[in-house]
Every structure is written in structure tokens, then in C-alpha cells.
Amino acid sequence: MDRWGDALSPLQVLDINADQMTLPFPSMTFVLDALKHLRLFGLAVLGLDYIRAPNLTVLRLCDNFQTQCSATRLFDFLEATPALEEVSIHIDSTVVDDVSPPNRTVTLLHARSILLSISHVPQFASHLVCPSSTSVRLVDVLPDSVADGIFPSSLHRLLGQYSVGAVDRVVMRVSDRVEHKECSLQLHSPSDTNFQITYATEHFAETLPEDVDREWNFPVLFDQAVSALLSLPLGNVISFSIDIEPPSDSVPHSTEIAERFVEMFKKCPKLHEVVLDNYLPHCFSAFSQDRTPPIQVLIIKHPEGGSWEELAEHVTEAARIRHSRGVPLKRIEIITSSEGNPRIERLESWVQEVKYTVEPSQGAGRNPWF
């Protein structure tokens, strides 16, 4: 090892930002036994080939350039760093022509947090086995088109590799807000494992290639999210949180949305609580059908500026029908940002407990990456 390598050898933290069209490493390999935390930003990601850090615990890669970064080389590095506990990879590259090397998996026994944002991320992630992970987030920022689907067909197998089998809480989010557009599923298990798949467009708009479909097709993405959930074993789910906000010009018929919710709820025979994180009138008929599981708790977040009268009508009707069919709601909680909303008349007649909570509006924008 030359003098530069000798200087690097005792470092525990290495942070290199290379935003010029040059590589920060010569063509030789440095073995850094003491290195615990490695962050490579920009073209420095390409220097990964020249570092071996067997005791590394934290890896952060972030490259905003259209560089040629090989998935096989990333696998090689991960395989050579068995002590990794936290992995964060964000590469804006259309690279990954070798993203699915046959019959290869990389096991990270100690990894507890995995965050991946690269092209073809589901295929890349399917080669990683992380039995100790408590947080897995996959952000697919470069799909070929919306119509191709954001969720891998092998989602069930992918979840099995991450040991997220006993899902007990589901969060489904499909939004078309001005501040941010995303479609995501979050699956939680009793062991506090959090598995999330997100497709985000707005946050990465500047990095998307010109031929990528930037149009937001709510019906297609909503259908993909539902289909992905229906492919999973959800028999132990007790809580289902829904946050969808379709654009006004592309909303499917209200009965279609409700029917898809009924399909999902049927897969959850133990479902106890449903949270409507964004009040949507299209879904309320789902709570009035015979096929809906005996949900006992309904929590509704009423958006600022929404129609209180419309909300009261839908909630009262759903509660009345469930009461008449012998599957009454035990508790309804309505969360609003205004103290001026009155109590909903007659609702207490159909529900054991009605609660009104005032919370300040926190805005809809979400940051999908940092």
C-alpha cells in the first residue's frame, strides 16, 4: 500500500464527495480494517471497487450522475463486508444491466436497516437476504413506465427473504398531491420489522431520463398496489391504514374503489382497526357490505376544507348499516384540524364510543428519501 493508503488505513470514518469527472482512487485496492462508516457521494461511488473494509458497519452511497455502476460490483462489495448493519444506496443510473446474476444471493446477517434507490431495485433487492433487518425500504425511481408496474411479481418471495412473514399492520398510500407524488406499501410485523416499497416521481423529476413516463396514472397505480397486497398472506393483519388521494380528473367510479377495499379486507379476517388517513367518500360503502370483516374501530382524518356534512352523512350511514347487521362499530374517532366542527347527530346511537380529536393540519408533502 502506498503512502496515501497508509494514511487511510487507521480511519474509522471515510467520507468522500467527488463531483468532478475524475475518480478519487488509483487503480489499486486498499484494505481498511479499521473503517466503520463509509460515505461515497457523486462519482466517488465508482471508487468502491478499490476499497475493502471487512469491519464496516455503515455504508452510504449516493450518486446523482448517470454513471456506469455495476450491480455485480455492488454485490461483491456487500459480500466482502459481513459486519454491515446499515445500508443506504441511492444511484441515479440506468446501469444495472447485470442486476440479476443467476443463482447469486448475498446474506447480510447483521443488517438492520436497508434503503435502496436504484433502477430495477426490486430485482436487486431480491438477491439480498437480511434475516435481522427491522427496516427495509425500496424506492424504485426509474421504472420504464407506470404501466410496467412498480411492484415485483415475486413480492411474496422477496418478503420471505427479508423475514417479513407475520404482517400485522398495513399502510397503503397512493397520493397525487402537488407537493409530492408517490405510491407505497408499508408492511409491519410484530417484531417491528418495517418493509416498504415506494414509487416516487416528483422528488426525482430532475433525474428521470426523458423517455420515462412522468404522467401520474392513479387508477393504474391504485390497482397495482391492491394487486400486490392481494398476493400476500394477510391473515394476521389487525390494522389497515389507507391514505389515497386521487386526482379529480381520473377517479375511478366510487363503487370500484370500494369493491377493491372489500377484496383487501376479505384477506384480513382478524382486521380490527381501519384508519382513513385522508378522508375519501368513495370508500365508505366498503364498510357497509356483508363481506367486510367485523371491524371494530374506524379512525378518520378529515382534511381541512373538506365537507363536514358529507363526512357526517357517510359515517352515520355506515355505522347504522353495520349496527343493523349485527356487526356494529365499537369506536369511531374523527380527527379534524378545526374546533368549529359540530358533533355528528345520531352517531352515538349506532356506536358505543365516538371521539372527536382536534389536530393542527401538518400538510401533505412527504419526503420519500431523506
> Which whole number is the average pLDDT over 37-41?
91
Pairing of strands 169-176, 181-188: antiparallel
Specify the DSSP class assigned to residue 236: T
> Is 96 exposed, middle or buried (CB count within 10 Å of its CB: 0-12, 13-18, 19+)?
buried
Residue 171 — very low, low, confident or very high, per pLDDT cuts 50/70/90? very high
Residues 122/143, Cβ–Cβ less than 8 Å: no
Mean of the per-residue pLDDT values of the chain: 77
Give me 249's grid cell. 380528473
Residues 279/306, Cβ–Cβ less than 8 Å: yes
Give me 257's grid cell. 374503489
For residue 237, give the nearest of 326, 337, 170, 175 by alpha carbon. Answer: 170
- Whose cell is 400486490? That residue is 228
pLDDT of residue 251: 54
Task: Give every CB contact of residue 163 below 8 A, 6+ residues apart in sequence.
Answer: 130, 131, 133, 193
Q: Pick the residue with more confidence: 148 or 122?
A: 122
CA 351 to chain centre: 33
Pairing of strands 331-336, 297-302: parallel
pLDDT of residue 155: 65
pLDDT of residue 25: 62
pLDDT of residue 22: 64
pLDDT tens, 244-269? 876 655 555 567 788 888 899 988 99
3 state SS of 157: helix
Residue 214 — very low, low, confident or very high, per pLDDT cuts 50/70/90? very low
Residue 196 — very low, low, confident or very high, per pLDDT cuts 50/70/90? confident
CA 128 to chain centre: 17
For residue 213, give the nearest of 222, 224, 205, 223 by alpha carbon. Answer: 205
Sign of CA dihedral 261, 267, 272, 273: negative
Tell whether the model's pLDDT for residue 187 goes beyond 70.
yes
Portion of the chain with pLDDT greater than 70, in percent:
73
Distance CA 183, CA 172 (A): 8
pLDDT of residue 227: 83
> Which whole number is the average pLDDT over 353-369?
63
Distance CA 368, CA 370 (A): 7
Tell whether the model's pLDDT for residue 36 goes beyond 70.
yes
pLDDT of residue 332: 95
> Is 139 exposed, middle or buried (CB count within 10 Å of its CB: 0-12, 13-18, 19+)?
buried
pLDDT tens, 80-139? 999 999 999 988 755 555 666 667 888 999 999 999 887 777 778 878 888 888 888 887
For residue 73, give the nearest of 48, 52, 94 by alpha carbon. Answer: 48
> Which whole number is the average pLDDT over 303-321?
86
Residues 137/116, Cβ–Cβ less than 8 Å: yes
pLDDT of residue 283: 78
If phi > 0 it is left, if psi is from -120 to 50 it is alpha, else beta; for residue 235 that is: alpha
